[in-house]
Amino acid sequence: MAKVKRGANGKFVSVDKDIAIFVSNFKNLRINMEPSVLNSKKGRTIKFLDGKYKTKDPEEIKFLKGVEAKPSAFVKINCIQEAVIEEEGEK
Q: Helices (H), strands (E): how many in the chain?
A: 1, 7
Which residue in 45, 25, 23, 24 sits closest to 34, CA to CA?
Answer: 45
- Strand positions, DSSP E, 1-91: 4-6, 12-14, 20-24, 30-34, 44-47, 52-55, 77-82
| Span 18-50, pLDDT tens digits | 788 899 988 899 999 988 888 788 889 999 999
Domain borders along the chain are 4-82
Helix (H, G, I), strand (E, B) or coil at 70: coil
pTM confidence score? 0.73
Does residue 15 surpass a pLDDT of 80?
no
